[in-house]
């Protein structure tokens, strides 16, 4: 798997854990080895695995927590770290997010997440792809 695809895969896993309200998957997405930090919009900054994971347990355990979709992810690789900049769609609204991953062996682990207000919007989505037929 190409490096950027591996980073995008890790980014997708983060949002999949969010959508699925899967605390265990969220714990796996984040690094258990490196320093981590999470800057939820309008929260106090959370630094360190204990407080970051507590925040996700609260968010994912809340049935009112918003549905989220990742849009237009862009990857920038800096050695053993890689950033994904992406929109987060929440209903009709958009946030802009930075997700920083660190390489740990063959996988990329999330070490920092910040989301905040943006005036931007992702590119319009095209029509759904025609399903491929394999026969």
Where does this chain bind a copy of itself (CB under 8 A)? 34-37, 39, 41-45, 47, 74, 76-81, 83, 85, 96, 98, 100, 102-103, 111-112, 114-120
The residue among 23 and 77 lying less far from a copy of itself, judged by its C-beta, is: 77
The residue among 62 and 76 lying less far from a copy of itself, judged by its C-beta, is: 76
- Backbone φ and ψ of 11, nearest 5°: -65, -40
Written as six digits, the tokens of 59 are 């968010």
Minimum distance of a copy of itself from residue 84's CB (angstroms): 10
Distances (CA, A) of 131 to 127, 128, 134: 12, 9, 10
The residue among 70 and 115 lying less far from a copy of itself, judged by its C-beta, is: 115
The residue among 17 and 36 lying less far from a copy of itself, judged by its C-beta, is: 36
Strand partners, 95: 88, 117
For the CA atoms of 113, 115, 121, 126, the dihedral, rounded to the nearest 10 degrees, stands at 40
Minimum distance of a copy of itself from residue 131's CB (angstroms): 32
**Cα 52 from Cα 30, distance rounded (Å):** 9
Minimum distance of a copy of itself from residue 132's CB (angstroms): 31
């Amino acid at each position: 798997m190409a490096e950027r695809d591996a980073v995008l895969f890790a980014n997708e896993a983060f949002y999949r854990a969010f959508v699925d309200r899967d605390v265990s998957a969220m714990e796996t997405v984040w690094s258990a080895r490196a320093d981590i930090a999470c800057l939820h919009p309008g929260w106090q900054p959370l630094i360190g695995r204990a407080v970051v994971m507590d925040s996700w347990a609260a968010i994912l355990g809340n049935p009112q927590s918003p549905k989220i979709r990742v849009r237009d992810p862009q990857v920038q690789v800096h050695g053993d770290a890689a950033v994904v900049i992406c929109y987060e769609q929440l209903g009709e609204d958009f946030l802009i997010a930075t997700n920083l991953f660190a390489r740990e062996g063959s996988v990329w682990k999330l070490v920092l997440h910040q989301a905040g207000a943006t005036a931007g919007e992702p590119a319009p989505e095209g029509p759904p792809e025609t399903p491929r037929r394999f026969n």
